[in-house]
Structure 1
């Protein structure tokens, strides 16, 4: 049974340094509209600049100021999101996929919802044996990490309102995954993460993470993965709306909600130390 009977509107965006907070303002706005109008969405996005996206727990690093300085030294941008506990990285080799599912008639459990997006990613790469369990020494480890042969390729988080779910997945498609891991390691070391016991921060082992390109698909691109994901959705019997996003993003309802959510993101990020 498909997870929605409505056409799913597809949105594709790249954020630069000047509008990086829009990434999660858009996510939050789409989640509200998904619930209000029972309208499903797929939001593909990435960042033009290498960016470390802090989780809410990262605010508790003993030396957060120094941790952020390490990012600047590594030529990384950064911001604080409002979901997930720990840092992840976004750049032009990483595809972020947010899947918005209405819940008016069918209520999915947390695990059932995770299985939906895991199934779609598995359909994208039938040649890979994709498992879901926590990869302990990856960055931002979680119960539904997606991995191949013990190496993580994706992490998933979810947020819920009363009438909707968003499943947020990042997929490492290409690029230097070892360097990404080094940047996160530097971040936590500079932040003195392991000097305290109130909060658990990962000790990152770069050998626990890899990319789709490194798994035998050296020429695959983010656009290739987007097309594979949409094909997987279509195979589930769900129709795609590839043009409705233009009207949606220009609508008064969306612009009002996005403005509201962006202000929340701005206030959240004003809590970070100035570097």
Structure 2
């Protein structure tokens, strides 16, 4: 909880404004915030963000033997594939998935990888007090990791981190609405077509759709993403003074730099 309790939290809500944009914009935004917070030009920041139907692929996903066929499958089902220039594996984003970034500075206190994960775990538990949230790898889920968040053995969220210029962005996707197993089925089909039984050096996850669910399915609720954004703001209000602030003109210049960089990287990956 120490990391979460701050004198001031900057709040940047893009849960509506980012929907029609590419997830690449969010990677650029978090890189921008990493620099600003890391260099103490901004207080610690919480950003909420949502994107329309997209699948964010990791570098290993792009090395699948039949990746272009698999990406065409995603597009045929209405999902836009992009490639992020970092670790991790395929993740589904859509309007029923809320993403949260917590951005901290390492200038004043060093942060281990686990410190960041534990902060997001604590925040998520404050967000959903109705459930007993566990953190361990859920075998058969997409993008599996030791900080998969689950209730009753079913995963509803995954956490990642981005570190840049003494800033740390801890990111989580929360499946709020819809069917977790349907999202997992999409990724299962992506891997099956991408592999087509061929051996690979990297071991890709064997997706079991039944091990994934949404918060609504797990808790028997009817929450919307908008409802959870309100919960986020209520929790944040208990952790420090909130300052609602989008980017100013100077910060927008840094964002333009990072956006150009992620667009160029993505284009290079897709051209391979």
The TM-score, its normalising length taken from structure 1, stands at 0.90
Structure 2 counterpart SS, 1:235: helix
Alignment of 1:75-114 (within 5 A): 75-114=78-117
Describe the superposition over 1:129-156 as per-residue Cα deviations: whole angstroms up to 9, x where unpaired: 1000011210000110100011001000
Which residue does the alignment assign to 2:49?
A: 45
Alignment of 1:261-272 (within 5 A): 261-272=258-269
- Confirm or deny that 1:55 pairs with 2:58: yes
- Confirm or deny that 1:170 pairs with 2:173: yes
Which residue does the alignment assign to 1:7?
A: 8
Describe the superposition over 1:205-246 as per-residue Cα deviations: whole angstroms up to 9, x where unpaired: 01111111112343211122122223223333x11112x22x
Which residue does the alignment assign to 1:240?
A: 242
Q: 1:272 to 1:16 in 2, by over 3 A?
A: farther
Which residue does the alignment assign to 2:212?
A: 209
The TM-score, its normalising length taken from structure 2, stands at 0.91
Distance 1:69 1:104 in 2: 44
Contact conserved, 1:174 with 1:213, CA < 8 A, in 2?
yes
Contact conserved, 2:90 with 2:142, CA < 8 A, in 1?
yes
Distance 1:41 1:265 in 2: 21
Structure 2 counterpart SS, 1:56: coil
- Confirm or deny that 1:122 pairs with 2:125: yes
Which residue does the alignment assign to 1:195?
A: 198
Distance 2:89 2:156 in 1: 16
Which residue does the alignment assign to 1:260?
A: 257
Contact conserved, 1:56 with 1:81, CA < 8 A, in 2?
yes
Contact conserved, 1:64 with 1:273, CA < 8 A, in 2?
no
Q: 1:273 to 1:125 in 2, by over 3 A?
A: closer
Q: Name which of 229, 232, 238 aligns with 1:229.
A: 232
Contact conserved, 1:46 with 1:95, CA < 8 A, in 2?
yes
Deviation at 1:171, TM superposition (A): 0.3
Deviation at 1:17, TM superposition (A): 5.2
* 5+ long unaligned stretches in structure 2: none
Describe the superposition over 1:147-175 as per-residue Cα deviations: whole angstroms up to 9, x where unpaired: 00110010000122352211010000011
* Superposition RMSD in Å: 1.9
Distance 2:115 2:147 in 1: 11
Deviation at 1:198, TM superposition (A): 1.4
**Number of aligned residues:** 267
Distance 1:194 1:151 in 2: 27
